[in-house]
Structure 1
Amino acid sequence: MTLEILRTKEELRNLIDAYASLGDEKKISEQMGIFTPDAVYKVYMNNSLVANISGTENLEKEFNGHASLVKTYFTMNGQHTVKIDGDTATGISFSQLKMIRASEGKDIITDYSVKYDDKYVFQNGKWLIKERTGHFLIIEARPLNS
């Protein structure tokens, strides 16, 4: 493995970590900077497509709408594997995502176990997410014990 490939793998890992950190902090406009302007974002729950959004303008509106309903996000990224082919790459990553929302005067925590399938491109000197498909594999919601 060359030093260039190791650097690229680190840059791609930093990209998915930035996606999680910026989302957790609700820095949605900054988060859009890690996507290509024509990015595609899809979400599957129980093997059903529930979101298919194109372009960062639409994605920012969708993410802001969602974030307005969430009190707290917490994401932990796990394994991340990539295949690099010049200025493009594909990746698979796994995340554990927690969201706290208020419902009927109670805080509800939802745990999501997510597998992301990504397509990345190297543009203007940096790696960006071109396509991100989230497969929400396990979803558990319960009242949060304070």
Structure 2
Amino acid sequence: MTYGEAESNLILDRLVNQWAVLGDERKIDQQLDLLAANGTYRVTRQDTVVAEATGRPALKTLFTQQAQAVDTVFTLNGPHLITLDADKNTASGVLYAQVKVVKDQVLTDYSVRYDDQYAFIDHNWAIQERQVHLLIEDVHPLA
């Protein structure tokens, strides 16, 4: 791994961690700054698309609706594997995470895999496309 590759890996790790923290804190405008202006966000459950938006205005609407629908969100990121394509100024990443969502004293615990496409835009990395795969869902009353 070269110095440039290592630096890009660190930046992309920070990018996805910032995304999680800002999402948990419902700082939607700041979270949107981490996306390419024409970025896409797609959520699938058992290979069925359950939410999708492209472009910041549509994404802001979707994220605002999602934030208003729950009381609390807590995200814990796990392994993040990044593959760089320096010739195209792009990268792809796979990130595993646990996302806990509370609404009306009911806890939903999601095991998630994010398939990401990143683009190097204006001297910085951004999320170009984020596909969220809800792999496991555990729903039960909050103790």
Does TM, scored on the shorter chain, surpass 0.5? yes
TM-superposed CA distance for 1:84, in Å, is 0.5
Q: Distance in 1 between matches of 2:114 and 2:69?
A: 23
Identity %: 37
Q: Distance in 2 between matches of 1:88 and 1:39?
A: 13
TM-superposed CA distance for 1:52, in Å, is 1.9
Structure 1 residues 53-78: Cα deviation after superposition (integer angstroms, max 9, x where no partner): 11111011111111012111100000
TM-superposed CA distance for 1:139, in Å, is 0.5
SS at match of 1:67: helix
Structure 1 residues 14-72: Cα deviation after superposition (integer angstroms, max 9, x where no partner): 01101100000000111000001100111111221111211111011111111012111
Q: How does 1:52-91 map to 2 (within 5 A)?
A: 52-86=52-86, 87-91=89-93
2:51 corresponding residue in structure 1: 51
Give, as a single letter, the amino acid of the residue that structure 2 aligns with 1:25: E
Structure 1 unaligned regions, length at least 5: none
Give, as a single letter, the amino acid of the residue that structure 2 aligns with 1:85: D
2:116 corresponding residue in structure 1: 118
Give, as a single letter, the amino acid of the residue that structure 1 aligns with 2:72: T
Structure 2 unaligned regions, length at least 5: none
Question: When the two structures are aligned, how many residues end up with a matched partner?
Answer: 141
TM-score, normalised via structure 2 length: 0.96
SS at match of 2:33: helix
Runs of 4+ in 1 over 2 A off after TM superposition: none
SS at match of 2:14: helix
Of 75, 78, 103, which aligns to 1:101? 103
Q: Distance in 2 between matches of 1:66 and 1:101?
A: 11
1:133 corresponding residue in structure 2: 131
Give, as a single letter, the amino acid of the residue that structure 2 aligns with 1:92: V
TM-score, normalised via structure 1 length: 0.94
Give, as a single letter, the amino acid of the residue that structure 2 aligns with 1:91: G
Query: How much is the aligned-residue C-alpha RMSD, in angstroms?
Result: 0.7
Q: Distance in 2 between matches of 1:5 and 1:66?
A: 34
Give, as a single letter, the amino acid of the residue that structure 2 aligns with 1:62: L
SS at match of 2:13: helix
